[in-house]
Amino acid sequence: MIEVIEAARDRKPLPAEKIREFVQAVVGGRVPDYQIAAWLMAVYLNGLDEASVFALTAAMADEGTTPPRMRGRVDKHSTGGVGDKTTLILAPLVSSLGIPLLKMSGRGLGHTGGTLDKLEAIPGFRVTLDDQELARQMDEIGVAVVAQSAWLAPCDGIFYALRDVTGTVDSLPLIASSIMSKKMAGGAPNLVLDVKVGSGALMKDHTRARQLAELMLRIGASRGIRVTALLTNMDQPLGQAVGNAVEVMEALACLSGQGPEDLREEVLTLASHMVSLAQMVAPDEARLRVEKALDGGQALEQWQRWVRAQGGDWLAAERGLPLASSVPVTLGRRGVVAQIDTEAIGRAAQWLGAGRQRKDDRIDPSVGIRWYARLGQSVEADEPVCEVLAPPGIRRDQAMEMLRQAVAFGSPRARSQAVLDIVS
């Protein structure tokens, strides 16, 4: 182990076999946390040569892969954002075109929401299925979104928990190997990455986001996975809804051909690229198929089948999930929205109980935010920039103050379109 740490410290490449032994020793519990942490910090400070990143990612993936029966044809991954409910729409939309989609999703992390927490806002929805149930559901309806199994790329869980507490999350080789090991282990031959950029994203800067996307494309190519990456805008929340039940309702609106324009555009672009890779057609042709499925009701019917298959009460969702009482937030001054601290909006939602402060906190599905102010928009003094969904009390007052501070007036510098760039 000392040799592995020293190589990272001195920027010396290691043979792939040594890296594999290291990963196996980590998963086998034979490396103490302080040695893993020292290695993570060395990689954080010095980076890692590309051959070692490929070897590391492959070794992490090979330590826990999905059985062939449970593999989808296409997968997607988002690096995490505020108001990102795209999986809820993409899963039924893409699978309604006959493309099997099995997505392993996560819970909220810090200020970013998690797909599993959103799905659990639907009464009865089960995010944990046993292997047989999962395989049967894939056979019958071709779609499932479930919690990541403990056996899937377990090394990432060990690294991630240590990165979280050692200041080593924000490292391109560590992020790329974390994401791509899970996607390789999931076994889909096609992958669309949603790399979020901006004030609410892990990557605040466009150039670094592009570097991350390109690195992940090369890792995919090294294992024969066809990858397209979208750089998407997190300088403002995606859509209006931020929370759990409120995001499910917005996803359902989008599936019914309504909902905010930026959300629809991002979903259509992501879905087109997923379909293009999976069905080997040009993105423009794929987009026509996707628009037809969304606007013709096919995706909505598949949503009903999917929610029902995982035990969820789809009718309750259709009638409207319970939401906490709402209060408007105004700024008391007028101006043009120049900048939005999107991370602060995510933190306000987390503070209200839509996310967790500590690992075992309970989520309140009914709380959240409806965010109205868009970049470049003129806002009057008494015009709400957002609405807070929460019971009255000190927490709500504090969240409202956080949200007031999240808007800066002036001349807009950030771009407002949903999809910023496509890398393939």
Residues with active-site annotation = 77, 156, 163, 178, 182
Q: Among residues 83 and 412, whose Cβ is nearest to ligand URA?
A: 83
Give the β-pairing of 190-197 and 74-78. Answer: parallel
Residue 178 interacting with ligand URA (CB under 6 A): yes
Give the β-pairing of 407-409 and 326-329. Answer: unpaired
Phi-psi region of 167 (alpha: psi -120 to 50; beta: other; left: phi over 0): left
Name the residue whose CB lies closest to ligand URA: 178
Closest CA to 351 of 321, 388, 383: 388
Site string for ligand URA, 129-168 (x = CB under 6 A): ----------------------------------------
Question: Shortest Cβ distance from residue 81 to ligand URA (Å)?
Answer: 11
- Taking residue 97's Cβ as centre, other Cβ atoms within 10 Å add up to 21
Residue 193 interacting with ligand URA (CB under 6 A): no
Residue 116 interacting with ligand URA (CB under 6 A): no
Q: Among residues 109 and 423, whose Cβ is nearest to ligand URA?
A: 109
Among 66, 79, 168, 310, binds ligand URA (CB under 6 A): 79
Binding span for ligand URA by CB under 6 A among 173-181, 341-349, 401-409, 416-424? 173-181
Q: Among residues 33 and 164, whose Cβ is nearest to ligand URA?
A: 164
Q: What is the spatial distance between Cα 334 and Cα 240, in angstroms, rounded to a whole number?
A: 21
Residue 238 has φ and ψ, to the nearest 5°, of -85, 120
Residue 179 interacting with ligand URA (CB under 6 A): yes
Residue 80 interacting with ligand URA (CB under 6 A): yes
**What's the gap between Cα 281 and its chain centre?**
26
Binding span for ligand URA by CB under 6 A among 174-182, 252-260, 337-345, 369-377? 174-182
Size of the site for ligand URA (CB under 6 A): 6
Question: Shortest Cβ distance from residue 175 to ligand URA (Å)?
Answer: 4
Residue 355 interacting with ligand URA (CB under 6 A): no
SS3 per-residue string spanning 139-195: HHHCEEEEECCCCCCHHHHHHHHHHHHHCCCCCHHHHHHHHHHHHHHHCCCEEEEEE
Among 56, 175, 242, 246, binds ligand URA (CB under 6 A): 175
Q: What is the spatial distance between Cα 274 and Cα 248, in angstroms, rounded to a whole number?
A: 22
Distances (CA, A) of 229 to 96, 175, 179, 217, 269: 22, 15, 13, 8, 11
Q: What is the spatial distance between Cα 386 and Cα 328, in angstroms, rounded to a whole number?
A: 6
Q: Among residues 113 and 384, whose Cβ is nearest to ligand URA?
A: 113
Site for ligand URA, rule CB under 6 A: 79-80, 175, 178-179, 202
